[in-house]
Chains A and B, each alone.
Chain A
């Protein structure tokens, strides 16, 4: 861990000034929220901010309704508070389910929504400063390719980086069509969730399209996404029952008409790519159709089109295919919130 300057402004404008103070590209200043990812990475000598701007004092932790009836999640609202918020639970149970499938209760109590979006990959080689990594040290090479790749990407990878984005929360946000509200001294803007994270291409050092001086202030969920509340399921497959990152996760949300036809469908995959993976044309296969397994298999084919393993992680393609089908079957029946973590009865409704 390197020495760093630290400030804890209490208003947003001051934070936006502080982040620019003595900005140095080789040791970029960072906002500090729950610290559950950033502080770890500083200790591992992976990230070296010259200055930490602690944003925990900013008034950005509210969860409130937007003018059009959607929901606004403060960037500093904690993952746990978000998951258990009554409006989130009732209108966007997919989000509750995804958050509760992640990390541990203690980490979810600390982790902020903004920080969750910006958490970095869990690629072993990214964490090991003794080996090259393009994401950590652009141009040094990707050590993961040809190495220990059980957890790596099967979609959207490049010859420069095969890392995955590890978040669960983001998978649900992608499915629900969230928007990310950001602010810098230069002004405010909104980013479609699909455009927030990026594929590695030849610049894997950039996880997102956020600029270094931009602060996430809010994440909004559109009002119409609440229409998925009755048919949404988040399934996370991992190496142990809790406290492990996804090998593959699937968020699915459906709307059904009285005849049992699917009118709207959203599916996002986690653990498979550098960003939550969505394919509107695959979702469109479901629109207007009666649910059945062969159709779900076609949807899975479409979602996984072009999937390519690294050898050790080839199984993820099979796993993802099966998980998509299972989740769609389950979402047709109802909704799961993963609220009773470790409780067999909650799991059994999916089994």
Chain B
């Protein structure tokens, strides 16, 4: 990929940004485009002759569609067509054709494929009209006729159907085999606790609504602007479902207004928009409503039980952690809920289990820190409970059982500066001032409490390609089919390239968000910097070698004998390390060499052999203060200190924002978020932003983020590990533990709403 893809409107750093180094704080390069509205999202790309599609969703939870009364809907002026399972264009029938790159085991949903309804809110028809308004009105007039079958959506009522998960999924590993004899050790131990935990369904609700704009060109080529965490995943899916060659489909996602995992898999608006474009032979846009954002993947409701036992001195002797989560009837969605409990603390007897119950819901999907958000939450509350049983400071208990190596895998950690997180976080928070007993601090009508928790998440690296093109005018364009879901990908990749090539950042552009760019993984799992960032740096290194070769070949070259480690790229020049005055400006170099541009391509493969020898993870220590009005059960999180060990921090400002956002989400998880399902109807009832509560500004007070020193060259050549998830993990547990310290009330059920506090 050599030239800028014009419609991507790739953002570049503001003039004057200058030279950058990893670790610096740089304002995001896409900031101006976003706040001025210049950045276009999936639903905003214009197309001539656009038809608008509005989705009709099922009102039943399970059964069959007997037919539709479409007469009134079709009479609405402007309506073009209504697509249902009985008149849709051809789709492949095979299970494999619907498997996107992150599909779990099972048979993915095939939208509008047949008459079967398997969850409430399932798309059953697409109304197409000349205007959005006409389509939306007509959609309310579509009258399906159903044969209803009984459904089961209540996890608690169907625990007896719990089974082992089937099939594989990226990022999932089943629980390890039992280590030692966990129950026997528990029975024999002097101090023990056991507790049960529950966490409700949550929906991601990124700001940007799911949308696809399918632009059909005269030759039938489809350019699709899709809301997705991977243009290449959506491209792959569309090609497979509709049997379209990869050359006939381009997917773009230059700007994504948040996703949090909901865009890891193609959502139903994509195949619906494509089938409409194929059927009508014109461009089509389908945008979901906020209510429809509750009709696909969610964080699964999860029940957990934990047993911990220790010697009187706090030495852990047994950890047992069992989880049961919901999945759909079609797929076994899996996430790592319990494995963290075998990784965080040194212990000789560990037993972990994870089971699924199939319900008549849509398949869950990864949501920020999938599995860890609730699994580590439960473990960290249990550790807090154990600390009180031992009459030991909660932080001291964690330090007592600090895992120097991974206890279940017996592997060393690639790096682990968790101890620094504890020390620095505790110092900043003032943890040593904490009175040990609950109900020790009061202010006015509120009890005040301090709690802490540990967090952890995987440090992953996938493979990726990147290309780098240096133009004779001095611009560097680096490309990879990466995604920026608001995380700062544009910014950090441009920083890496600029720092590597010694160019001012405004001369560097990082292109992402197009399926035709060099292959990149789905943006997820906190791995984009370690993966794409390493590919970018690798491409730059290759470019440097190529440039040196050109320089050596110049007539009377002062670089003729220079080896690559004897030169450096700095201040926009290639120069000798030993004699920096011997230098050539890069544009000059290209001009002298007679090259309009120099291009390299690079494939970054993780060093699996080396990585396999280590447990690779990020860590955090979260400290928080809450104020609880016990009469009313209202909780205010007045102060949070989050100390993070996530390898080398490349882009300080966007990394800081990631962690702050994670803490906000953690508070939200602790206190607010839950989608409430009416199991008689099988429907999610609070499917809008007035009633699905996330933390608002008034809920958020002081948040302080500390990055401790870490540099991990096992995880990535950059030393980085990734910060997307870790900021969230442990926050809700710290809040829950602080509520206990404030009031003596232990709440093991999220969200901690006022009714639960007064009942505890």
Report A's interface with B, CB cutoff 8 A: 1-3, 44-45, 122, 124-125, 127-131, 143, 146-148, 150, 237, 239-245, 247, 315, 318-319, 322-323, 326, 341-342, 348, 350-351
Contact = CB atoms under 8 A, between A and B. Distances in A.
B137 A3 contact: yes
A319 B632 contact: yes
Contacts of B678: 143, 147-148
Given A237-B632, A315-B754, 17 more contacts: A1-B137, A2-B137, A128-B683, A130-B59, A130-B683, A131-B681, A148-B686, A239-B753, A239-B754, A242-B697, A243-B696, A243-B698, A244-B693, A315-B755, A350-B445, A351-B443, A351-B629
Interface of B: 57, 59, 120, 133, 136-137, 140, 291, 443-446, 629, 631-634, 636, 671-672, 676-678, 680-681, 683, 685-688, 690-691, 693, 695-699, 753-755, 758-759
Contacts of A147: 678, 680-681, 685
A148 B676 contact: yes
Nearest to B632: A237
Contacts of B688: 127
A341 B698 contact: yes
A342 B693 contact: no
Q: Interface majority SS on A: helix, strand, loop or mixed?
A: loop
A231 B445 CA distance: 20
28 contacts: A44-B291, A124-B686, A127-B688, A130-B57, A130-B683, A131-B59, A147-B678, A147-B681, A147-B685, A237-B634, A239-B672, A239-B754, A240-B672, A240-B693, A240-B698, A241-B698, A242-B698, A242-B699, A243-B698, A244-B693, A315-B755, A323-B631, A323-B632, A326-B445, A341-B698, A342-B697, A348-B444, A351-B445
Contacts of B699: 240-242
B693 A239 contact: yes
Given A239-B672, A241-B698, A318 B685 contact: no
Contacts of B671: 240
B423 to A, nearest CB: 30
Of B632, B695, B758, B759, most A-chain CB atoms within 10 Å = B632
Contacts of B57: 130
B133 A1 contact: yes
A127 B444 CA distance: 40
Contacts of B634: 237
B683 A319 contact: no
Contact of A351 (B291, B444, B681): B444
A237 B754 contact: yes
Contacts of A342: 697-698
Nearest to B120: A130
A348 B445 CA distance: 9
Contacts of B636: 241
A9 B348 CA distance: 79
A26 to B, nearest CB: 14
B148 to A, nearest CB: 13
Nearest to B443: A351
* The 5 residue pairs across chains A and B that have the minimum distance between CB atoms: A130-B59, A351-B444, A241-B698, A242-B698, A124-B685
A195 B705 CA distance: 54
B739 to A, nearest CB: 15
A2 B139 CA distance: 10
Of B120, B631, B677, most A-chain CB atoms within 10 Å = B631
Contacts of B629: 351
A42 B444 CA distance: 45
A122 B688 CA distance: 11
A43 to B, nearest CB: 8
A348 B627 CA distance: 11
Contacts of A128: 683, 685, 687
B442 to A, nearest CB: 10
A2 B577 CA distance: 72
A319 B753 CA distance: 12
Contacts of B676: 124, 148, 150
A348 B444 CA distance: 7
A126 B445 CA distance: 37
A250 to B, nearest CB: 11
A319 B754 contact: yes
A179 B288 CA distance: 43
Nearest to B697: A342
Contacts of B137: 1-3
Nearest to A243: B696
Nearest to B444: A351
A240 B681 contact: no
Contacts of B697: 242, 342
Nearest to A348: B444
Given A240-B698, A315-B755, A351-B443, A148 B690 contact: no
A131 B57 CA distance: 13
B646 to A, nearest CB: 29
Of A44, A125, A351, most B-chain CB atoms within 10 Å = A351
A147 B759 CA distance: 20
A342 B699 CA distance: 8
Nearest to A151: B691
Nearest to B667: A240
A148 B444 contact: no
Contact of A146 (B631, B680, B759): B680
Contact of A326 (B631, B672, B691, B758): B631
Contacts of B136: 1
A126 B693 CA distance: 19
Nearest to B636: A241
Contacts of B133: 1, 3
Contacts of A124: 676, 685-686, 691
B696 A315 contact: no
Contacts of A146: 680
A131 B686 CA distance: 13
B631 A322 contact: yes
B681 A318 contact: no
A150 B681 contact: no
Nearest to A48: B140
Contacts of B690: 122, 244-245
A130 B56 CA distance: 11
A136 B619 CA distance: 51
Contacts of A319: 632-633, 754-755, 758
Contact of B632 (A3, A241, A243, A322): A322
Contacts of A3: 133, 137
A3 B129 CA distance: 14
A233 B299 CA distance: 40
Nearest to B753: A239
B681 A122 contact: no
A122 to B, nearest CB: 7
Nearest to B680: A147
A315 B758 contact: yes
Contacts of B758: 315, 318-319
A78 to B, nearest CB: 20
A349 to B, nearest CB: 9
A68 to B, nearest CB: 39
Nearest to A342: B698
Contacts of A322: 631-632
Nearest to A235: B632
A237 B633 CA distance: 9
Contacts of B632: 237, 319, 322-323, 326
Contacts of B753: 150, 239
A205 to B, nearest CB: 20
Given A1-B133, A45-B140, A150 B755 contact: yes
A241 B686 contact: no
Of B445, B671, B690, B759, most A-chain CB atoms within 10 Å = B690
A342 B695 CA distance: 13
Contacts of A326: 445, 631-632
Contacts of A122: 690-691
Nearest to B134: A3
Of A45, A128, A342, most B-chain CB atoms within 10 Å = A128
Contact of B681 (A127, A143, A315): A143
B166 to A, nearest CB: 32
